[in-house]
Amino acid sequence: NAGVTQTPKFRVLKTGQSMTLLCAQDMNHEYMYWYRQDPGMGLRLIHYSVGEGTTAKGEVPDGYNVSRLKKQNFLLGLESAAPSQTSVYFCASSYSNSYGYTFGSGTRLTVV
Amino acid sequence: GQQVMQIPQYQHVQEGEDFTTYCNSSTTLSNIQWYKQRPGGHPVFLIQLVKSGEVKKQKRLTFQFGEAKKNSSLHITATQTTDVGTYFCAVRSQTGANNLFFGTGTRLTVIP
């Protein structure tokens, strides 16, 4: 039982490049989330999904897109990376919106 | 989004001393969650408090929810080096999605 798995763990991008971060969970959770963590800013919600085929914007959605084609996977895309998107990205899932979140180990992204 | 203030931002303690972090909201909360993030790690769910005045204990950790459900605290008795990390409170948004909004965290350093 792996929980929440994020790939890749590290990535360096050049400004303007695109990439996709993958999140996979094996707990049959309905809810999935993408957060970014920056020093002194805590965790900020980028996008979330309340079920397969659904997505919605969080606090800081600009510059990101997401897809949830399968219940177990939640993809975060950066179409044209910017240095301001340098951050640690965490995916999380939960059984419902009343339960605690299970987080993945994170992706450290640097945009140069 | 839901605003929540967490203090202090940093705390250094000698091993064996107690530690407390506080989370304050200007609005009444439906519930509050606490997470711990070890250095270089990911947030791990500790507990959720729901009832006014609720107190829960996990070994040396004591969690309290204020009577007015506007504040909460996490107290660690006799800190150990294993307690090192950042402790976050998280509260639900007021919108239908009920997403979690995280405080900025309290970074605890334990000096052996």
- The answer to whether residue B93 scores a pLDDT higher than 90 is no
The pLDDT of residue B96: 58
The pLDDT of residue B57: 98
Please, which residues have CB within 8 angstroms of residue A68's CB and are 6 or more apart in sequence? Answer: A32, A49, A51, A52, A53, A54, A55, A74, A75
Helix (H, G, I), strand (E, B) or coil at A107: strand
Predicted confidence band of residue B110 (pLDDT cuts 50, 70, 90) = very high
Please report the number of interchain residue pairs, chain A to chain B, with beta-carbon separation below 8 angstroms. 54
The pLDDT of residue B15: 98
Of A45, A74, A91, A73, which Cα lies nearest the Cα of B42? Answer: A91
The pLDDT of residue B38: 97
The pLDDT of residue A97: 72
Predicted confidence band of residue B97 (pLDDT cuts 50, 70, 90) = low
Residue A84 has φ and ψ, to the nearest 5°, of: -65, -15
Note the pLDDT tens digit of each residue in B57-84.
Answer: 999 999 999 999 999 999 999 999 999 9
- The answer to whether residue B13 scores a pLDDT higher than 70 is yes
Please check whether residue A104 touches B, CB under 8 A: yes
Cβ–Cβ of A97/B102 closer than 8 Å?
no
> Mean pLDDT by 10-residue block, N- to C-terminus, for chain A (112 residues)?
92 97 96 93 92 94 97 97 97 89 97 97
Cβ–Cβ of A105/B42 closer than 8 Å?
yes
The pLDDT of residue A96: 82
Q: Which residue has the tokens 């094996």?
A: A26
Please check whether residue B104 touches A, CB under 8 A: yes
- The answer to whether residue B86 scores a pLDDT higher than 70 is yes
Cβ–Cβ of B42/A103 closer than 8 Å?
yes
Report d(CA B45, CA A51) in Å as an integer. Answer: 21
Of A63, A59, A58, which Cα lies nearest the Cα of A83? Answer: A63
Q: What is the mean pLDDT of residues B83-104?
A: 86
The pLDDT of residue A2: 77
Please check whether residue B101 touches A, CB under 8 A: yes
* Residue B74, burial from CB neighbour count under 10 angstroms (0-12, 13-18, 19+): buried
Which residues does chain B have within 8 Å of residue A42's beta carbon, measured at their own beta carbons? 88, 102-105
- The answer to whether residue B98 scores a pLDDT higher than 90 is no
Please check whether residue B27 touches A, CB under 8 A: no
Please check whether residue A95 touches B, CB under 8 A: no
The pLDDT of residue A42: 86
